[in-house]
Structure 1
Amino acid sequence: MILITGGHEKSIGLEVFLKSFLLLTKEQKKEFHLFCDIKALETNLVFLKIKFKITKNKLSLDTGELKLTLFDKSKYSTPATSIALLKALEIIDVHRDILVTLPTSKDQLFLEGKQQKGHTDLFRSLYDSEYLGMNFLSPEEKILLITDHLPLKDVAKNINPDLIYYKTGHSILGYEQFFNGIDEVIMAGLNPHAGENGLMGLEEKNIYQAIQKLKKTFPRINFKGPLSGDALHFEKKKNKSQLFVYMYHDQGLPSFKARFGLTGINITFGLPFLRMSVDHGTAFSLYGKSVANYLGQYYLLNQALVAHTKLKSQKVYYGIRSNQNYQGPRPQP
């Protein structure tokens, strides 16, 4: 199944999901399972003017059905986003299921009473792995952020060869497992002009060390870098599946979002399962107006179906297909 967790109840998450879900075929609809607050679901269905019937575990529409796990958030002290997420994680089959999270705000994500900085950080805490990589996928580009929700002043001291190696390794294996394999990895430096051979910083040595190790683990892949972050786009080739690796959040995302808008997916690799989400936020100001753009969510659902089809056809261990044959050791956290 593709498990969908409801985000913030006052966000556009359920709106764009429902709009996208209606466009799927009846057979495709059977692959989805939604976890959310019952009142939030009913409210969205009503203002979207969708004819529906809800039973205990099923949403019936004119064009198909959606499996449901519903709850009443008023009976919990925990925010709706966290309730939905934890309920999904209780039943997820790591060998057969994919997780899709709808947009939320940071004040809705709690783990053992502690507020988290986002879904990715929550998963890092829950699965005790600092090497979960934040990836972004569009129809034309794949990027990885080595650091993500980290203040800029802390970026340099947190980047080390292992962090780069494991996050990049997980991403390479993840794309091979769920989508198309990677032919080439291009890494940005941390400093302007990739440090100019130490003239503007020495942090690039960590990137270089990681690249040398990655070359041994994945000899079939071409690795380039570290290169100047402002010039990575010049390395883009139409006939290759490339992964562009950036060292921090606002080094990679501004150009990605400027070019692809809402048509991008946030992917977490390195978990026992695949986690996906749209790359936009809650848009609270649009809630209830039925005007939210759903194209990014529709792209996400279709990519989730692609990944799920591939997942069902292959045997899995530790999130890696047993019929994959990589030379060298697989990166392990």
Structure 2
Amino acid sequence: MTRPTIAITMGDPSGIGPEIIMKALALPEVHAICRSLVIGDAARLRQAGRIVGAGIAVDSLPDAGAAKFESTAVQCVDLNLVPEDLPFGRLSAAAGEAAYRYIEKAVRVVQAGQAQAICTAPLSKEALHAAGHKFPGHTELLAHLTGTPEVSMMLVSPKLRVIHVTTHVGLIDAIARIEPGLVERVIARGHDVLVKAGIEDPKIGVCAINPHAGEGGLFGRGEEAEKIAPAVEACRARGWDVSGPLPADTLFFLAGRGDYDMVVAMYHDQGHGPIKVLGLESGVNITVGLPVVRTSVDHGTAFDIAGKGIADERSLVEALRQATALAPKSAPATHATPSSTG
């Protein structure tokens, strides 16, 4: 089977993205599963390669069609946006603008059939905003670039899958935003992804908002009955194995031991906390509902360690594995013929 081509965005060039990309692409196991096409700046990747001691070259490409996947060098569509003196570990509008352009280009590459999925290195929301791009994060930016009205964030670790009803909003705003139609659509998107991944009849648990799922009205203002229960019943009416609303603390314990294939979290920290406790190095962020496959590392730019050569690439490697698993299984004929060296 032909390995899919994964477009890897470099993320914020002042963060750890360039370093973890070079570390990941030096691993034979990555080349064995996919063909990697970095969308970024070749000079920055070379600099990062020297910092981490990757020992691999970087080819500067004018466009995706020029990629030579039989080469052992990193294939980089070079947008040449990073100033030579841009420091690691420092927030800047220039870095935010570059991060935006990498994502924009990656979307075009996938839409043109030159790659089958996108895998994103981390960006800085503050730098993105400083560059004039007012998006809360990758998820909302990708939805905008692809004209998708609504998407969901799913976090995946070896022991847990979590999809979020709300993400980058304050807690009070999140509770106000939750309503049965939204909850049902999120459950449906998650169910669809699991079925496509080969889980024939996934068992899905839905978190409550309040402690003890409201304790029969003792906690909260009836949010579970008003906002969540109707969506659960609608999904059960479709013949799906969906339970809830359930107390979040108990549900995550049960899911962690394998009783559920996916948890539906109501807000950002409710879902992110358990995943991150299990280990940032193994977590992957998947945007569900886009017309293109997108996975990402489950960590930030780590400005405090950027440029020091100590960033952990394992989350990126896992994100590439997930992108490969979810990508369409046939590659376009326009690519150069791949070899086992990728």
Q: Same fold per TM (> 0.5)?
A: yes
Q: Cα distance, 1:45 vs. partner? A: 1.4
Q: Cα distance, 1:277 vs. partner? A: 0.4
- Give unpaired runs (5+ residues) of structure 2: 84-92, 332-342
Question: In structure 1, what is the equivalent of residue 108 of structure 2?
Answer: 90
Q: Cα distance, 1:172 vs. partner? A: 1.4
Deviations, residues 235-256 of structure 1 (Å, cap 9, x unaligned): 3375666111110111122122
Question: In structure 1, what is the equivalent of residue 291 of structure 2?
Answer: 272
Change (3 A) 1:238 1:251: closer
Among 151, 159, 174, the alignment partner of 1:155 is 174
SS at match of 2:159: coil
Work out the CA distance in 1 between the residues paired with 2:169 and 2:6.
Answer: 30
How do residues 82-121 of structure 1 correspond to structure 2 at under 5 angstroms?
82-93=100-111, 97-109=116-128, 113-121=132-140
SS at match of 2:73: strand
Contact 2:51 2:309 (8 Å CA) reproduced: yes
Question: In structure 2, what is the equivalent of residue 215 of structure 1?
Answer: 236
The percentage of counterpart residues that share the same residue type is: 27
Q: Cα distance, 1:209 vs. partner? A: 0.7
Q: Cα distance, 1:60 vs. partner? A: 8.8
How do residues 1-16 of structure 1 correspond to structure 2 at under 5 angstroms?
1-16=5-20
Which stretch shifts more, 177-186 or 108-117? 108-117
Q: Is the aligned partner of 1:282 residue 2:301?
A: yes
SS at match of 2:217: coil
Contact 1:109 1:119 (8 Å CA) reproduced: no
Determine which structure has greater relative contact order: mean sequence separation of CA pairs < 8 Å that are 6+ residues apart, divided by chain length: 2
Q: Is the aligned partner of 1:174 residue 2:182?
A: no
Deviations, residues 265-322 of structure 1 (Å, cap 9, x unaligned): 01101000111001111111111111112222222222222333xx2159xxxxxxxx
Contact 1:182 1:242 (8 Å CA) reproduced: no
Question: In structure 1, what is the equivalent of residue 262 of structure 2?
Answer: 243
- Give unpaired runs (5+ residues) of structure 1: 315-333
SS at match of 2:176: helix
Change (3 A) 1:39 1:14: same
Work out the CA distance in 2 between the residues paired with 1:48 and 1:60.
Answer: 24
Deviations, residues 1-29 of structure 1 (Å, cap 9, x unaligned): 21101101111112112212211348537
Among 104, 110, 133, the alignment partner of 2:152 is 133
Which stretch shifts more, 173-182 or 132-141? 173-182
Q: Cα distance, 1:192 vs. partner? A: 1.6
SS at match of 1:42: helix
Question: In structure 2, what is the equivalent of residue 329 of structure 1?
Answer: none
Q: Cα distance, 1:65 vs. partner? A: 3.5
Q: Cα distance, 1:119 vs. partner? A: 0.5
Q: Is the aligned partner of 1:255 residue 2:274?
A: yes
Change (3 A) 1:15 1:149: same
Contact 2:44 2:82 (8 Å CA) reproduced: no
Tell me the TM-score normalized by structure 1: 0.83
Deviations, residues 124-181 of structure 1 (Å, cap 9, x unaligned): 3334545311110011110111111011121111001111111121121123224645
Which stretch shifts more, 112-121 or 38-47? 112-121
Q: Cα distance, 1:117 vs. partner? A: 0.9
Question: In structure 1, what is the equivalent of residue 76 of structure 2?
Answer: 68
Q: Cα distance, 1:115 vs. partner? A: 1.5
Contact 2:41 2:79 (8 Å CA) reproduced: yes
Counterpart amino acid of residue 157 in structure 2:
S
SS at match of 1:287: coil
Contact 2:285 2:319 (8 Å CA) reproduced: no
Aligned residues: 310
Tell me the TM-score normalized by structure 2: 0.81
Question: In structure 1, what is the equivalent of residue 90 of structure 2?
Answer: none
SS at match of 1:266: strand
Change (3 A) 1:265 1:180: farther
Contact 1:182 1:243 (8 Å CA) reproduced: no
